[in-house]
């Protein structure tokens, strides 16, 4: 039995920001706020039944409005990840976007989907967040209407279903940007390194030194990206500031069904996370750009200082910069078609723990 509670989380530009909290019979709970359609909290019991919040975030709205440059928990759009050169052509027309990362475009621009207050409606235990992005917003063509249906299932699976329609041909690639640490959001890199990960991927998209795909693929065999068997994260990233921030190609991707993407476990607590999606790619990111140990930390929930390698992201998505590569799945949405992206996050406790 799942219960759902609604409360106010603050005010943004005269609008009430709402917070929705789902709780299951195990004590597992998820909170999502309407600002940025953002996952604010996920509390998961460990092998002893002790709850811990396993996503990075903020206690109040001010944190999300003024300090959330890493996109903690946020919905990303219109286009997640990077677009090379911050421009693209559709039917001979060039659309110029914000150059908000070097000369390129990242995560929808200056005011992306993470920086607006979404409308929300409740139907049973499902909450649908809705946002209308107007033609020309952040340089993108077409009025784009997006709905995100959020639901907690009885088996402690959090399911998100993104749907978009447009009035003109446009680029769409939506994702959620939650930062997970299954030991608890406050435990930092020391416990992140103890996580064990396996991924359903045998190749990554190759990129240049600005993280823009060059159109080719790299087999993971014999590289640090070979996570096809369970691998302790610390064994591959502990001495590297760069790993990971890469798009992994889902090996058995199929648009008509959800495919297993990744499984992450934290042996100490016994918690695990399994991710399933209908998307062709997933960005594995290990919070490389959070503050380094010698810099001032980003202060999050419970006054915890968040730092580099303090969490991991699994951002299900189309391949980055797909608009510029014919060999990638198309990122163009046409009038009359519906963009659909489903992702499920299943949480639990290891039976042997």
Q: Decide if 191 is catalytic.
A: no
**Tokens 């998820």, residue?**
30
Sign of the four-CA dihedral 181, 186, 187, 188: positive
Q: Which of 105, 315, 325, 341 is catalytic?
A: 315
Q: Do the beta carbons of residue 250 and residue 280 sit within 8 Å?
A: yes
Burial of 153 (0-12, 13-18, 19+ CB in 10 A): middle
At 183 the three-state DSSP class reads coil
Please provide residue 225's backbone torsions phi and psi, each rounded to the nearest 5 degrees: -85, 0
Instruction: Report whether 177 belongs to an annotated binding site.
Output: yes
The residue count for the chain: 353
Q: Decide if 296 is catalytic.
A: no
Q: Do the beta carbons of residue 320 and residue 213 sit within 8 Å?
A: yes
Instruction: Report whether 327 belongs to an annotated binding site.
Output: no
Instruction: Report whether 178 belongs to an annotated binding site.
Output: yes
Instruction: Report whether 195 belongs to an annotated binding site.
Output: no
Instruction: Report whether 107 belongs to an annotated binding site.
Output: no
Instruction: Report whether 179 belongs to an annotated binding site.
Output: yes
**Cα–Cα dist 331/182, whole Å:** 32
Paired with 160 in beta bridges are 150, 343
Q: Which of 107, 177, 266, 341 is catalytic?
A: 177
Q: Which long-range contacts (CB under 8 A, 24 or more apart) does 97-101 make?
A: 97/138, 97/139, 97/140, 98/138, 98/139, 101/210
Binding residues: 81-82, 177-179, 245
Give the active site residues: 177, 315
Binding residues for beta-D-galactose: 81-82, 177-179, 245
């Amino acid at each position: 039995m799942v219960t759902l509670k609604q409360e106010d989380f603050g005010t943004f530009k005269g609008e009430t920001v709402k917070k929705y909290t789902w709780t299951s019979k195990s004590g597992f709970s998820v909170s999502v706020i309407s600002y940025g359609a953002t996952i604010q909290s996920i509390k998961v019991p460990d092998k002893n039944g002790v709850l811990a919040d396993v996503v990075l975030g903020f206690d109040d709205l001010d944190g999300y409005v003024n300090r959330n440059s890493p996109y903690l928990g946020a919905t990303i759009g219109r286009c997640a990840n990077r677009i090379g050169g911050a421009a693209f052509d559709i039917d001979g027309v060039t659309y110029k976007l914000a150059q908000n990362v070097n000369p390129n475009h990242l995560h929808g621009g200056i005011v992306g989907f993470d920086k607006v207050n979404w409308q929300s409606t409740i139907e049973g235990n499902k909450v649908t967040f809705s946002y209308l992005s107007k033609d020309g917003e952040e340089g993108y063509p077409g009025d784009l209407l997006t709905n995100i249906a959020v639901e907690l299932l009885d088996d402690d699976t959090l399911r998100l279903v993104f749907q978009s329609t447009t009035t003109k041909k446009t680029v769409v690639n939506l994702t959620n940007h939650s930062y997970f640490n299954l030991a608890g959001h406050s435990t930092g890199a020391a416990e992140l390194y103890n996580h064990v990960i396996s991924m359903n991927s045998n190749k990554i998209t190759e990129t240049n030194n600005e993280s823009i795909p060059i159109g080719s693929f790299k087999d993971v065999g014999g590289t640090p990206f070979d996570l096809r068997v369970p691998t302790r994260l610390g064994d591959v990233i502990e001495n590297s500031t760069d790993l990971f921030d890469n798009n992994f190609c889902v090996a058995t991707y199929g648009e008509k069904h959800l495919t297993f993407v990744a499984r992450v476990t934290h042996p100490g607590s016994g918690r695990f996370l399994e991710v399933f999606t209908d998307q062709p790619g997933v960005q594995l990111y290990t919070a490389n750009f959070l503050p380094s140990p010698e810099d001032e930390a980003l202060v999050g929930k419970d006054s915890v200082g968040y730092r580099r390698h303090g969490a991991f992201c699994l951002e299900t998505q189309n391949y980055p910069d797909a608009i510029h590569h014919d060999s990638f799945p198309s990122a163009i949405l046409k009038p009359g078609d519906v963009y659909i992206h489903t992702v499920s996050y299943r949480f639990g406790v290891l039976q042997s723990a």
